[in-house]
Amino acid sequence: MNPLCTIFSLTRCGVNHCCTTQPDWFVLDNSNILTMKRIGIAIASIVLITGMTFGQESYTSQRKAMVEIQIQARGVVHLATLVAMLNVPRHEFVPENMKPYAYSDNALPIGNGQTISQPYIVAFMTAVLKPKATDRVLEIGTGSGYQAAVLAKIVDSVYTIEIVKDLALAAEDRLQRMGYTNVRVKAGDGYHGWPAKAPFDAIMVTAGADSIPQPLIDQLKIGGRMIIPVGPHQGVRQLVLVTKKKNKITKKNLMAVRFVPFTRAKKPDGG
């Protein structure tokens, strides 16, 4: 039995079988089982916290189902990612008229022609980066701030860039109001990264690019990982995992995806 099933007592990947398969980068050894059990108890406690309004209880239940059915059941078993997805209130990152659909298995519009990614994609991209508590992470494409919030639950610091100024300002205000003190937001062209804060342990790009920006590769630490959708505009793109080694860059196609396009500024902004 997959030890991750100790986190959720009723989680299934099928009618009668617990999840038994996972990508090779998600394999956990047996030393993690005790920790998982302890976190499982903590998660159960979160769900049973008293004093919530009916709406909050409903959102908590929906979030738990989202993690169990949409994410864990599809093979994402990176523990820190699961816990972060369970604890970040996705409904706070979508417009009011989208709140009833916040935990659905879909990307949702957030205005300005942008979207908040499908929960599974958020979890998958996070887990693939293998984020650690000491990591400094760069995100390109802040959107509403949801992905940054998920990362912030796991890593030391998140630097996130959004090309649409209104979205950047709204995300910054939202993240500050919600207590995400380890996230910094900048409005600007993400193609250039954030040189003043480099190098980064990991970089996540949440918009589809025609090619991998060289400045982002340059700002990765040796041993760092980047996840980015790459492919033709308005087409199906490949989600690519980039790993920076001492003498070479490796690239691995992970899955076909659709993302909003990587938007560029008319003129390069300053770092």
The answer on 145 and 14 residing in a single domain is: no
Summarised one tens digit per residue, pLDDT across range 213-268 is 999 999 999 999 999 999 876 678 889 999 999 889 999 999 988 777 677 777 64
The answer on 148 and 19 residing in a single domain is: no
Q: How many domains does one find in the chain? A: 2
On whether residue 271 sits in a domain, the answer given is no
Are 10 and 64 in contact by the 8 Å Cβ rule? The answer is no
Cα dihedral value 127, 129, 130, 136, nearest 10: -120
Write down the pTM of the prediction: 0.78
The answer on 147 and 113 residing in a single domain is: yes
Catalytic residue numbers, as ranges: 117
Is pLDDT of 137 > 60? yes
Q: Which residues contact 73 (CB under 8 A, 6 or more apart)?
A: 11, 12, 13, 19
CB atoms within 10 A of CB 236: 12
DSSP string, 141-164: --TTSHHHHHHHTTSSEEEEEESS
Summarised one tens digit per residue, pLDDT across range 51-95 is 333 356 799 999 999 999 999 999 999 999 999 999 999 999 999
The answer on 127 and 67 residing in a single domain is: no
On whether residue 186 sits in a domain, the answer given is yes
- Give the domain range for residue 62: 3-87
Which among 134, 129, 55, 48 has a CA at the least distance from the CA of 92? Answer: 55
Residue where a domain stops, chosen among 30, 52, 87: 87
C-alpha of 82 from chain center: 10
Residue where a domain stops, chosen among 87, 120, 153: 87
Are 241 and 251 in contact by the 8 Å Cβ rule? The answer is yes
The answer on 252 and 165 residing in a single domain is: yes
